[in-house]
Amino acid sequence: DLNYDVCIVGAGLSGAVLAERYANVLHKKVVVIEKRSHIGGNCYDYVDEQTGILMNLYGAHLFHTDSEKVWRYVNQWHEEVPWIRWDHEVRAVVDGKLVPVPVNINTVNSLFGLNFRNTSEMTSWLNSIQKKCDGNCANAKEMAESRVGSVLFQKIFASYTKKQWDKDASELEPLVTARIPVRNDFDQRYFSDRFQALPKHGYTKWFERILRSDKITVQLNTDYFALKDLKCGKTFFTGPIDSYFSKEGLPKLEYRSIRFEKTVLRNSGFFQPASVVNYPEPNVPFTRIVEYKHFLWQKSDFTVIVKEFSTDDGEPYYPVPKKTNIALYDKYKELANEAEKKSSIFFVGRLATYKYINMDRAILLALEMFEKIENRTR
Ligand code: FDA
């Protein structure tokens, strides 16, 4: 029987949250169609067979949010799939030194041989080096320099940005560097959000739990576009918007991807002092190394390190924030609006809206979409 109240394309965070809401709140019959062999979308993680280490397949995923609503939502199944507080920290190798990222007092002291001891010394130094552009920053370079000045921009951001996007920061939209955090204290945490945590048993187990319902059918290894005879009351599409409208003759949207290079080392300790170490300098071909064993204090006689290389081809990860791409997306968005009116299909999530969104935002947008369409508030 291929008749469903709700069809959801994609078993990532956006799709899973919508499936859970329709099944548990409205008792609708839901099918989730996923072309990969697993649920979880890009949050998918697994226990590596050789080492027993829990790791992500599509890059490290650190959950952080300031939203009470999102935090309450993810904790609903706390007894089975609890979340553990995790304050993420990142280091960068710059001038042969390992320094904290975001830039804080220790970063500046270490790179410039200074001896700032408090917030007011750091604040006045930052004020003296920032090249303010006050809401009129023309591109990502100017925006970054307005936050960290030219020298730190060159040391930490210029080549990293070039590696990540294969474009100069001056060619990218200011929003790319608009949220570079800079600290005027000794806080070493990567995020400042109130809630920062990792799922104790991993993201995939959390997804399994939220999708567990006799109202939900999950169909893996299935491309939505290859399905015939599926009948849906409503459809939520979380795949790439340009794949949905591929017959409309518009150019494809541009994405950056990542090639992950995994190495297993026999080492009962650690390879590097933090889970993530960035390599912003131009002579190193990768952008960062992730050592998963750090997350939630795992133990193993081995360790796994994953080097990340930014590439043009591969899975679509990051929309490239350039004016031409944003204008092209707007055309797809018009098609999406028309389709929404005609046939109860909704476009949701990072690929269908061509926006980089963090996990908490993906959850919030899915919850809000459910509430808006079904006229419900929680
Ligand atoms: P997602 O891509 O997860 O899911 C879409 C699903 O649709 C996929 O499983 C895909 O296979 C499926 N699909 C597509 N086309 C289909 C078709 N035709 N038929 C069937 N299925 C189809 N966020 C954060 O908060 N902290 C972090 O540390 C990170 N880290 C991070 C690292 C990297 C490398 C990336 C790329 C992203 C992050 N994120 C993140 C962001 C996070 O991954 C993101 O918020 C969620 O994955 C969004 O979930 P979606 O469901 O929208 O997309």
Q: Which residue has the higher pLDDT, 2 or 368?
A: 368
User: Atom 23 of ligand 1 has which residue's CA nearest to it?
Assistant: 358
Pocket of ligand 1 (CB under 6 A): 9-15, 33-36, 41-43, 58-63, 223-225, 238-239, 243, 258, 317, 349-351, 357-360, 362
User: What backbone torsions phi and psi does residue 296 show, to the nearest 5 degrees?
Assistant: 55, 35
Instruction: Give the pTM.
Output: 0.96
The pLDDT value recorded for residue 375 is: 86
The pLDDT value recorded for residue 12 is: 98
Q: How far is the CA of 163 from the centre of ligand 1 (A)?
A: 22
Mutate to test the pocket of ligand 1, among 58, 61, 347 (most ligand atoms within 8 A of CB): 61
| Confidence at 181, pLDDT banded by 50, 70, 90 | confident
What's the rounded mean pLDDT across residues 54-71? 98
Q: How far is the CA of 263 from the centre of ligand 1 (A)?
A: 24
What's the rounded mean pLDDT across residues 314-334? 93
Indicate the range of 17-26, 31-40, 88-97, 132-141 predicted with least confidence. 132-141
The pLDDT value recorded for residue 95 is: 96
- Look over the chain and give the mean of its residue pLDDT values, rounded to a whole number: 96
Q: Is the pLDDT of residue 94 over 80?
A: yes
CA distance 335 to 330: 9
Q: How far is the CA of 230 from the centre of ligand 1 (A)?
A: 24
What's the rounded mean pLDDT across residues 303-307? 98
Evaluate whether 65 touches 360 at the Cβ level (below 8 Å).
yes
Residue 39 CA, closest ligand 1 atom number: 9
Q: Is the pLDDT of residue 187 over 90?
A: yes
The pLDDT value recorded for residue 377 is: 59
User: Atom 49 of ligand 1 has which residue's CA nearest to it?
Assistant: 13
The pLDDT value recorded for residue 21 is: 98
Q: How far is the CA of 337 from the centre of ligand 1 (A)?
A: 22
Q: Is the pLDDT of residue 378 over 60?
A: no
ipTM over 0.95: yes
C-alpha distances in angstroms, 192 versus 66, 89, 183, 257?
A: 9, 11, 10, 27
Give percent of the chain above pLDDT 70: 99
